[in-house]
Structure 1
């Protein structure tokens, strides 16, 4: 660690007040190692003093930087990169967080504290999924004994991702203090307002087009046959089919006929849409966790499985019903 970074961290510890005890989700926008440490060090130290279950969720470079600042003290901090969406989709990251919350209940403070480094991937599709995740947790974890700080490093993140931090975090770190973000947006409003990008693969003819599928079994069979010739990886093929089968089942059980399907694929990416003529339900938070909580025997797993197994899922209400749109990269 360079001397300047260490001095910056020590100064910040004097001026940064401790965060409120419950349910805080804040963003710290940084542009140097010194800025990163100035935000992160007092945050982690506060958690260790309070007896929080303190977890570091970041990449190896930030972990090394923090190790230099903390030394042996970092041994009291757990590490789990999944909450920062590193090789993890949002439903699984939320599942990990809930498991840690259960463990935190047994600690001295009963609280979970997470320091996360924002790394949403290298393309606009993954950036959008990361932004959705940051917004959704505000509603899905509301009231939980959780204090989270997300580090947005403007040296490596695109401007659009950095700018969204103020929209998806109720608090931000400004001039060394925790303040309410004047730009914070209600999670559902933020998710609804996010534009749905059209995939280039949708500009070619679909490899499967079914209007008014007569039966769920027939639709599932047709989807399986299309996937068989378009998805070379067997494990991915089975995962994708499981998810779209569940979405199709939802359309038949909870929607209204006609039920239609479209599938596009170009060897690199795949898009599937399932449309029914039922209501225009489209809660943008649906599917980030099972509809009935941990009791999976009650069902309600269709959209949750879809979000777990496809890269992105959009619920698109329209004048003639609801379309579920699923997109993914092919292995």
Structure 2
């Protein structure tokens, strides 16, 4: 069995990728990490895809009092939601070192999801800098594309591979990785949808337009309300932080997914905005982005010199 990464020392943060091949190696290495945390009396969160979660829980035979179990396919369907959950877990155990297993990549992820999950992995290093926490991120080298495994070397300061914990020579700072994730968004199939521009005083009209358009989609009434709220929050951010104006496009994909795209002249000064549950003292922009991440099935963020683009996805239901 590979030796697990050493737990974080006071004031240190450890972020390690585990490259595993097959179920047996996965259970041995991730199970060993969890057992070491329990032996040290440290709180541990296991957030991995459902089938892996069930196998680990059965193999470890420990209850919810010792381990917090989370199905990553639910929590992380939108990768923008993951970081808030990890930070909240660490916050609940403030003053104690926390250990976390987080597996945000699994076979079958769309290219858009992979890019946002890669962004999430890079931002973990920023969000947890200086915290007493150890995060282990398993990567299925047999099931994932080689490019995904290669990116894991850039987002993790250390890797576990071939029986050893090693520094990752390819490790890059979060700003560089996030810039690489800001690839041009593909245009929707079937031609460009109508562009609606808005400015101060138009927010009510934006909500009405989005609601009327969504009534012609496969979204349920509840999800239609979520879409309108998410679009409203994004448009409000445009007016407050994006130069006082913006544009909205709405379309449906061939499989019934609904997409809203908001563009403005703003810039994301804080790459962690929206990735932490807001408090009464939080900046308004962070509150809006956090709500958008909670409402949508996927949020794609693109920052460029000309401005900011949010592409919001909702599955038909």
Give the alignment's TM-score, normalised by structure 2.
Answer: 0.83
Change (3 A) 1:186 1:84: farther
User: 1:220 offset after TM fit, Å?
Assistant: 2.4
User: 1:238 offset after TM fit, Å?
Assistant: 0.8
Are positions 1:273 and 2:261 aligned together?
yes
Structure 2 Cα separation of the partners of residues 328 and 73 of structure 1: 36
Q: Which of 82, 86, 89 pairs up with 2:78?
A: 89
User: 1:258 offset after TM fit, Å?
Assistant: 4.4
Change (3 A) 1:144 1:223: same
Partner residue in 2 for 1:144: 131
Change (3 A) 1:298 1:57: closer
Change (3 A) 1:140 1:17: closer
Structure 2 Cα separation of the partners of residues 235 and 296 of structure 1: 29
Q: Where in structure 1 are there 5+ consecutive unaligned residues?
A: 1-8
Moved more, 242-251 or 121-130: 121-130
Structure 1 Cα separation of the partners of residues 228 and 129 of structure 2: 33
Partner residue in 1 for 2:180: 193
Q: Which of 303, 309, 322 pairs up with 2:289?
A: 303
Change (3 A) 1:202 1:189: farther
Partner residue in 2 for 1:55: 45
**SS at 2:188's partner residue?**
helix
**SS at 1:230's partner residue?**
coil
Aligned residue runs from structure 1 range 291-330, under 5 A: 293-295=278-280, 299-300=284-285, 301-310=287-296, 311-319=298-306, 321-330=307-316
* Cα deviation digits, residues 81-134 of structure 1 (max 9, x gap): 24576565345433332332233237xxx1111223444462222222322221
Change (3 A) 1:54 1:273: closer
User: 1:182 offset after TM fit, Å?
Assistant: 1.1
Are positions 1:171 and 2:161 aligned together?
no
User: 1:266 offset after TM fit, Å?
Assistant: 3.7
- Kept in 1, the 8 Å contact 2:75–2:82? The answer is no
Aligned residue runs from structure 1 range 30-45, under 5 A: 30-45=20-35
Moved more, 278-287 or 236-245: 278-287
Give the alignment's TM-score, normalised by structure 1.
Answer: 0.80
- Kept in 1, the 8 Å contact 2:47–2:69? The answer is yes
Q: Which of 6, 19, 22 pairs up with 1:29?
A: 19
The structure with the largest alpha-carbon Rg is 1
Structure 1 Cα separation of the partners of residues 266 and 44 of structure 2: 44
Structure 2 Cα separation of the partners of residues 196 and 216 of structure 1: 29
Q: Where in structure 2 are there 5+ consecutive unaligned residues?
A: none
How many pairs does the alignment contain?
A: 310
- Kept in 1, the 8 Å contact 2:84–2:275? The answer is no
- Kept in 2, the 8 Å contact 1:201–1:271? The answer is no
- Kept in 1, the 8 Å contact 2:198–2:206? The answer is no
- Kept in 1, the 8 Å contact 2:106–2:140? The answer is no
- Kept in 2, the 8 Å contact 1:29–1:153? The answer is yes
Structure 1 Cα separation of the partners of residues 75 and 282 of structure 2: 29
User: 1:262 offset after TM fit, Å?
Assistant: 1.9
Aligned residue runs from structure 1 range 147-226, under 5 A: 147-196=134-183, 198-199=185-186, 201=188, 203-206=190-193, 208-213=194-199, 215-226=202-213
* Cα deviation digits, residues 35-58 of structure 1 (max 9, x gap): 324532432232122211123222
Structure 1 Cα separation of the partners of residues 51 and 261 of structure 2: 39
- Kept in 2, the 8 Å contact 1:264–1:270? The answer is yes
- Kept in 2, the 8 Å contact 1:281–1:317? The answer is no
Greater length-normalized contact order (CA 8 Å, ≥ 6 residues apart): 2
Q: Which of 256, 260, 272 pairs up with 1:285?
A: 272
CA RMSD of aligned residues (A): 3.0
**SS at 1:131's partner residue?**
helix
Q: Which of 237, 242, 251 pairs up with 2:229?
A: 242
